[in-house]
Chain A
Amino acid sequence: MSRNDYRILSERFGRKDGHKLSVYESEGGYKALRMVLSGMPPAEVREVVKDSALRGRGGAGFPTGVKWGFVPEGAEEVYFFVNADESEPGTFKDRYLLDYDPHQTIEGTIISCFAVQAKLAFIYIRGEFGWLVDRVQKAVDEAYAAGLLGKNILGSGYDLEMIVHKGAGAYICGEETGLINSVEGRKGQPSLKPPFPAVSGFLKKPTIVNNVESVASVPWIINNGAEAYKAFGTEKSTGTKLFSVSGPVKNPGVHEIPLGMPFREFFHDWLGGMVEGEELKAVIVGGSSVPVLPAAEAMNITLDYESTAQAGTMLGSGGMIVIPQSSDMVELIQVLMHFYFDESCGQCTPCREGTSWLHKIVKRLRGGKGTIEDLDLLEHVCNGMAGLTICPLADAAVMPMLSFLEKFRPEFEALIQETAPVGMNSRWPRGEQEK
């Protein structure tokens, strides 16, 4: 198959006016919705998506159809949230989806809402994506004007309202209960589970929160069927996935590939390898929260949920960060630890205190005041955080920290022994503290 055969989600990426309803419709847009509303029962829609084995693209990889099935049978009031609070360092695929092709997500949302019989949908967009809010709002307005949203959609008797909601700038609101709390007007921090949102979420009613890429995949699945979708990918990781690639490769950006592609192939054929003068040192495959893989290990994996898990990392959101030899791993982990300490909601003690302590220790190391014992201390702090909190943010900080320590310990030791060269690309040269 050629590259173009994999374009389930990225067909209109980079296309002029691809975000407009007219273009989307002229290329078969809203066909799936028409099909669904012309007589498919909600249960059948759920069944098709379940059969497709589509896994949530936000990072956890939980099967979307199964999640929909958690909504209690006969629930009167169901809410649906599209999670576009894309804030994980290295991840920028949802932004492409909403920027270049908002109608695909809107159509997917309407079908998904119909599947769980939701009457109100929110598209929760990361606050920093200001222009994206306008773009999606315009698309939603177009859809309303065309009778694709609102009362009695396409004469089917199904009503759905859609609200474009702008986040206020917190990574943690990408966690589904944090997102719901934030829309309810509360502090954006995760809630205890159970109860899970599918049973008691927004306004304590059954609520489904799906990633943009997950719902954007739905129209194609409806149009082409579960079997066609399963033709892409592996047995347990079906379909295609967007990877947002950053780092000094020849072709950075968002790429859609079928799951299960060997990283080696993706790296050489799609990314074009490293830019001149750089050599691959390591890869963070699925966004900043997953364990880092040294180049040699990365070359052995295939890009799917199982293979990455086997290699001790995660496919995550597909936010791939390619790290060159010239990068200082201690500096990199400082950047990440700064992010997690800054974004911790502060609710659970292990995360609040742990992320801040990790950051302080790494900062001290980079300030030239670290000791070898500090490396054990970093591990010790990580052990006191992992798996002990309400949401996975603590784990998201622990996983890169521990893997950096494990895979690149010599760099930390060299820094401590004052033999380390000052990182070539250092924004924060050693000895100088970030604010």
Chain B
Amino acid sequence: MAKLTIDGKEIEVPDGTRLFDACTEARGRPLPHFCYHPDLPVAGVCRLCQVEIEGMPKLAIACNTIVRDGMVVHTMNERVNKANQQVLELHLINHPVDCPICDQAGECGLQDQYMEFGLYDSKVEQSDKGHKAKVKVIGPQVILDQERCVLCSRCVRFCREVTKTGELGIYDRGDRAHVDVAPGVELDNLYSLNTVDLCPVGALTSRDFRFQKRVWMLKSTEGICPGCATGCNIRIDHHGGRIFRLKPRYNPEVNGRWMCDRGRMTYKVVHDEKRLDSPLKKSGGQLAPLQWSELEGELSGMLKPGGVSLVIGSSHLALEELFLLKQLGLQVAGEDQIIGGLAESDQKDGDDLLLSSDRTPNRAGLALVGLEEMKADLLADRIKEARGTILIHGGNPAADPLLAEVLANCQHVVYIGTHVNETAQLAAYALPGASWAEKAGTFVNQDGRLQQFQSAVVCPGSAREDWRVLAEMLVLAGGEESPGNLDTLRKRVSSELFNGQEFDLNTLSALGVVPSGLAEPADPVAGGEG
């Protein structure tokens, strides 16, 4: 451990700590900076984290300094403040200051730092400003504005060190230096939008988010990416019931500070025009809307012991929902008649960064509640054998041609889902559930980590959170009384699934928890080789 004094405050940090990080700890906020990033190699080029270290004649950059025992550091004295202000001014002289039309405005390092310690009058002649390329499309997701760039090289280092694809470089020298892709090269990798997050200014912007919303209007909700079994922690940025973008949320145990571009687009399904926004009933071959209140009578026949011949879940459902679905299944169908869902085939394109070949967010959750998935051929046989009502919750089994064929022959399919998809089309009743961003729940990722997500936006139309639909069905079927709220439901889930363990889903850590004995979930796929 090294003891040092930063701005008169004594702190102790492990040997080898970067002075930058030690300063963050001592000050409660980071030093001014553009180029430093804890997950990238140090570049030391923005020259903003200058600090005075007693005994050293020159100011030093904290990012390239390793702490030494006994160091006395000043981060806010007049000399340091003056240096920072002047370096910031140099960062800004050729900047176009086009904040009114820049997506970064509101979360921009130049704006924030100017307000924090800049506040000088501009001394640059308008005619002296340099000009570089603007609105350059450099890849399917990212647009580059070289004039806004402060050449911190974070994006370049990310592509070199993290994705190891190296699409970006800094070309030319002096004030002609600019970030760019080589001719014929595109910034087209699965993680390209992380460069937009990394960009401290508005040089790299997301083509998807561009001009969609001023960032200060956005509210953020904590979520878990539903795109694959990795379960990246995310921030859902939304306004007025609409999601505008997904950003990675730091979790050192899961995704660090990154997420993949595919995951970022998972919000699109939430606002898809094919959303199921009202209960539908098939009459005369057509699905027609009806009220929830009318459904009670319609479904009462099915909601009694033995009233359902097969219950099919999905690894896209939350743990709480799977728990209730199983309870309902036990009440109306019997233990052997509950199937975890269709085992979606692995995409086999997972990488060693974040993307998992398993594109479902909660396959491990299925195993936790004791449900097994089935391969399409086996599931088809079970459907063929079933006589009577089949309750399908989540997923879209009819997307599989074999299952579509057998389901088409079933007279009475009740489907709870989010979209008017193939399965909904074949159903007698399609009940609108909540998409992943419209409900709270728990996913268990591929490492057995339980992680919770919150509801960011409200359901469309008369769609309802799935657990409420299941709870009411359970009551109608004569089972337990409705938990009434999610907390109560989670208490029930906790005591049933983690009996004997000090564990409560209501007090789950923000970084998620791997319950002991769950680190390696058993393969939940029944019926042959994975």
Contacts and interface: CB of A to CB of B under 8 A. Distances in A.
Interface of A: 170, 172, 187, 189, 192, 194, 341-350, 352-357, 360-361, 364, 377, 380-381, 383-385, 387-390
Interface of B is mostly: loop
A360 B45 contact: no
Contacts of A345: 173-174, 177
B151 A352 contact: yes
A361 B46 CA distance: 23
Contacts of B177: 345-347, 352
B352 interface: no
A388 B175 contact: no
Given A357-B90, A364-B125, 5 more contacts: A350-B47, A356-B94, A364-B128, A383-B86, A384-B83
Interface string B82-113: 01001101110110000000000000000000
A361 B128 contact: yes
Contact of A346 (B83, B86, B173): B173
Nearest to A191: B44
A344 B173 contact: yes
B125 A355 contact: no
A356 B173 contact: no
Given A349-B150, A357-B124, A388 B170 contact: no
A348 B89 CA distance: 13
Interface in B336-386: none
A172 B43 CA distance: 17
Contact of A341 (B83, B91, B170, B174): B174
B50 A388 contact: yes
In the A-B complex, the 9 residue pairs with the smallest Cβ-Cβ separation, listed nearest first, are A384-B86, A346-B177, A356-B175, A353-B90, A344-B174, A192-B44, A346-B173, A360-B128, A346-B174
A347 B45 contact: yes
Interface of A is mostly: helix
Given A364-B125, A377-B123, A384 B176 contact: no
Contact of B175 (A172, A187, A346, A389): A346
A349 B83 contact: no
B89 A384 contact: yes
Contact of B90 (A170, A341, A384): A384
16 contacts: A189-B173, A194-B64, A341-B175, A346-B173, A347-B45, A347-B151, A348-B45, A349-B91, A349-B150, A349-B151, A352-B174, A355-B174, A357-B93, A380-B123, A384-B87, A388-B59
B42 interface: yes
B58 interface: yes
Interface string B45-73: 11100100000001100001000000000
Contacts of B502: none
A418 B125 CA distance: 20
Interface of B: 42-47, 50, 58-59, 64, 83, 86-87, 89-91, 93-94, 123-125, 128, 130, 150-151, 170, 172-177
Contacts of A389: 47
B329 to A, nearest CB: 62
B285 to A, nearest CB: 67
Contacts of A387: 58-59
A383 B82 CA distance: 9
Contact of A349 (B64, B90, B176): B90
A354 B93 CA distance: 9
A342 B174 contact: yes
A76 B98 CA distance: 55
Contact of B47 (A341, A343, A348, A360): A348
B174 A385 contact: no
Nearest to B57: A387
Nearest to B34: A349
A64 to B, nearest CB: 23
Contacts of B87: 349-350, 384, 388
A381 to B, nearest CB: 8
Given A346-B170, A352-B177, A353-B175, A390 B124 contact: no
Contact of B151 (A346, A354, A377, A385): A346
A350 B50 CA distance: 12
A172 B174 CA distance: 11
Contacts of A377: 123
Contacts of B93: 353, 357
A342 B173 CA distance: 8
Nearest to A170: B173
A360 B130 CA distance: 10
A33 to B, nearest CB: 39
Nearest to A357: B93
Contacts of A352: 151, 174-175, 177
Contacts of B130: 356
A356 B174 contact: yes
Contacts of A353: 90-91, 93-94, 175
Contacts of A342: 174
A424 B254 CA distance: 70
Nearest to B92: A353
A354 B47 CA distance: 13
A21 to B, nearest CB: 39
B208 to A, nearest CB: 30
Most buried by B among A172, A189, A348, A349: A349
Given A384-B86, A389-B47, A346 B42 contact: no
A344 B175 contact: yes
Nearest to B48: A349
Contacts of A194: 64
A390 B150 CA distance: 16
Contacts of B46: 348-349
A16 B40 CA distance: 56
B90 A385 contact: yes
Given A345-B174, A346-B173, A388-B83, A354 B90 contact: yes
A416 to B, nearest CB: 15
Nearest to B174: A344
Nearest to B95: A353
B83 to A, nearest CB: 6
Contacts of A347: 45, 151, 177
B388 to A, nearest CB: 71
Contacts of B176: 346
A299 B246 CA distance: 69
Nearest to A393: B174
Nearest to B175: A356
Contacts of A383: 86
A35 to B, nearest CB: 41
Contacts of B44: 192, 348, 390
Contacts of B170: 187, 346
A378 to B, nearest CB: 11
A377 B125 CA distance: 11
A384 B44 CA distance: 16
Nearest to B94: A353
Contacts of A384: 83, 86-87, 89-90
Nearest to A345: B173
Nearest to B150: A349
A349 to B, nearest CB: 5
